[in-house]
Amino acid sequence: MAKSDEMNTILTRVGPGTPMGNLFRRFWLPALLGNEVIPDGQPVRLRILGEDLVAFRDTSGKVGVVEAYCPHRAAPLYFGRNEECGLRCVYHGWKYDVSGNCLDIPNIIPPDNFEAVKARLRIIGYPTWEAGGVVWVYMGPKEKKPEALPPMEWISLPETQVHVSRWLQRSNWAQGFEGEIDSAHLTFIHGVTNYEGTVQEVFMHDGAPEIFVRETDGGFIYGARRKYRDGYYWRVTAWVLPMWSVTGAFHPDKSIHGRGWLPIDDEHTCTFAYKFLKDEGYTAEQIEKTNSGWSFPPRMTKGTYALTDGTLIDTFLPIATRENDYLIDRELQKTTKYSGIYGINDEDRGIQEGMRRAPGRQGTIDRRFENLVRSDAAILAARQKIVRLAQNLENGIEPVDQGFGKGKPTGALGMVTPIADFEELLTVYAELIPHTNAAAAPLN
């Protein structure tokens, strides 16, 4: 295993050619929401894994995620005319389809080898796949493209049973993701003073959960066991490679939910959140409550954001930010909420975006100053596994197939039970916690 500084560098550097960037490019990744692009409508500016891209939906309804700049004079294709099944640069009229093929070069007299010229001038156009209300993109080698999307149930459900959203987080992807596999923080930052009869009650009784981790081909599952009355509250969370969580904690509307942490670059992340109901659709009141910002997503507005180098992206911008101290209410902190901050994601971002910075890297924490404890076992296990996979890929060892499409999607669990043993819990509730490679050895 890499030394601490080397591990941190591998973990957090995601640009083209980096070990972690190469690993992420072996997976289908969420690019944007499907409803952000309409046929012949306005393109959307993106940066994914340090690469500037634009997404657009052509006349026929196909979505392209292509290179952001025209190869003629490097003009931004965001300002292009989306028409007649292609995006036409407004500077000199060069036109590209959703796959990046050059369709037209109107400012030259066509030579005899015009088709060869157009073939040479194609731009990067990545494969896309629409499912679960998301436009997915694959940015890796063509011959390594997975045949299926990550094994999560919500992707294949009717849209009435799924709520999906995305927004900007101003930190490295790992800072956000590691919060997903840190059950101990629930007792504190998400705590309330009067918790009896609330969803927080089950984790307010015990702030030092015991953590049990079982590695799988597709990531791991871990159980956080808290003492609760005469039994235990178990919160079982799945990590689906490379950056998805599946969480089954108690939820007011009985949703299963989770997040995905898509690296924009080393210092910014696009957080995707999903929640779903297995057997029924959401009511209008439930959707309104979700969009109120109390949990995920936060209160936010659609807009543009200037990255560190000045490049603009189109995203959803949280209203509570570090510039306004995440709208913390100190009186609320004294009387009602442990944090004094309104929303669950606002609470998380307030901490994660403000962690001690690594020198010269504004959105990445300096892990040299960490002192991990027993309840951080899942975080350490995730770092070790994903860094190991990135290093293996550098040595020519591809990540395993992960069983995508081979059986039930990965699940999670949140419940009170007298069961104390993690292995027994997995056996008894196998239908509620399906996961790939259940026989894998636990991590040490």
**Residue 442 predicted with pLDDT over 60:** no
Mean pLDDT value of segment 336-362: 92
Mean pLDDT value of segment 33-39: 98
Place of tokens 């997976």: 27
Mean pLDDT value of segment 407-415: 79
Confidence of residue 217 (pLDDT cuts 50, 70, 90): confident
Mean pLDDT value of segment 260-287: 96
Q: For position 431, what pLDDT does the model report?
A: 84
Is residue 376 classed exposed, middle or buried when 0-12, 13-18 and 19+ CB atoms within 10 A define those classes? middle
Q: For position 443, what pLDDT does the model report?
A: 32
**Residue 3 predicted with pLDDT over 80:** no
Tell me the C-alpha distance between 138 and 63, whole Å: 13
User: How do beta strands 63-67 and 81-82 pair?
Assistant: unpaired
How far out from the chain centre does Cα 95 lie? 32
- Where does 171-275 have alpha helices with state H? 173-180, 201-204
Per DSSP, 34 falls in state G
Q: Give the tens place of pLDDT for each residue, 92-118.
A: 999 999 999 999 999 999 999 999 999
**Residue 435 predicted with pLDDT over 70:** no
Q: For position 57, what pLDDT does the model report?
A: 98
Least confident window among 18-27, 77-86, 146-155, 317-326: 146-155
Tell me the C-alpha distance between 21 and 14, whole Å: 4
The secondary structure element, H or E, covering residue 102 is: strand 102-104
Choice between 255 and 311, residue whose per-residue pLDDT is larger: 311
If you average pLDDT over every residue of the chain, what do you get?
A: 92
Q: Give the tens place of pLDDT for each residue, 221-234.
A: 999 999 999 999 99
- The total number of residues written for the chain in this structure: 444
Q: For position 405, what pLDDT does the model report?
A: 40
Tell me the C-alpha distance between 153 and 277, whole Å: 10
Tell me the C-alpha distance between 262 and 137, whole Å: 11
**Residue 156 predicted with pLDDT over 90:** yes
Confidence of residue 403 (pLDDT cuts 50, 70, 90): very low
Supply the pTM of this predicted model.
0.94
Q: For position 400, what pLDDT does the model report?
A: 74
| CATH class name, domain 28-144 | mainly beta
**Residue 264 predicted with pLDDT over 90:** yes
Q: What percent of the chain has pLDDT over 70?
A: 94
Q: Give the tens place of pLDDT for each residue, 167-183.
A: 999 999 999 999 999 99
**Residue 437 predicted with pLDDT over 80:** no
**Residue 267 predicted with pLDDT over 60:** yes
CB count within 10 Å of CB 1 equals: 10
Q: Hey, which bits of 319-440 come out as E strands?
A: 357-358, 361-365, 413-417
**Residue 360 predicted with pLDDT over 80:** no
CB count within 10 Å of CB 23 equals: 24
Confidence of residue 249 (pLDDT cuts 50, 70, 90): low
Where exactly are the structural domains of the chain?
28-144, 153-280+319-428
Confidence of residue 439 (pLDDT cuts 50, 70, 90): very low
**Residue 407 predicted with pLDDT over 80:** no
| Residue 302, SS3 per DSSP | strand
In this structure, are residues 93 and 107 in contact, taking their beta carbons and an 8 Å threshold? yes
Mean pLDDT value of segment 65-75: 98
The secondary structure element, H or E, covering residue 149 is: none
Q: For position 199, what pLDDT does the model report?
A: 74
In this structure, are residues 342 and 320 in contact, taking their beta carbons and an 8 Å threshold? yes
Both tokens of 52, joined, read 């500037």
| Residue 439, SS3 per DSSP | coil
Q: For position 408, what pLDDT does the model report?
A: 65
Q: Give the tens place of pLDDT for each residue, 278-311.
A: 899 999 999 999 999 999 999 999 999 999 999 9
In this structure, are residues 94 and 79 in contact, taking their beta carbons and an 8 Å threshold? no
CB count within 10 Å of CB 41 equals: 12
Instruction: Tell me the sheet residues that pair with 18.
Output: none
Q: For position 218, what pLDDT does the model report?
A: 85
Q: For position 401, what pLDDT does the model report?
A: 54
Mean pLDDT value of segment 37-41: 98
* CATH number of this structure's domain 153-280+319-428, picked from the four choices 3.30.540.10, 3.30.1490.480, 3.90.380.10, 3.40.50.300: 3.90.380.10
Q: Give the tens place of pLDDT for each residue, 413-427.
A: 899 999 999 999 999
- Where does 99-224 have alpha helices with state H? 114-120, 173-180, 201-204
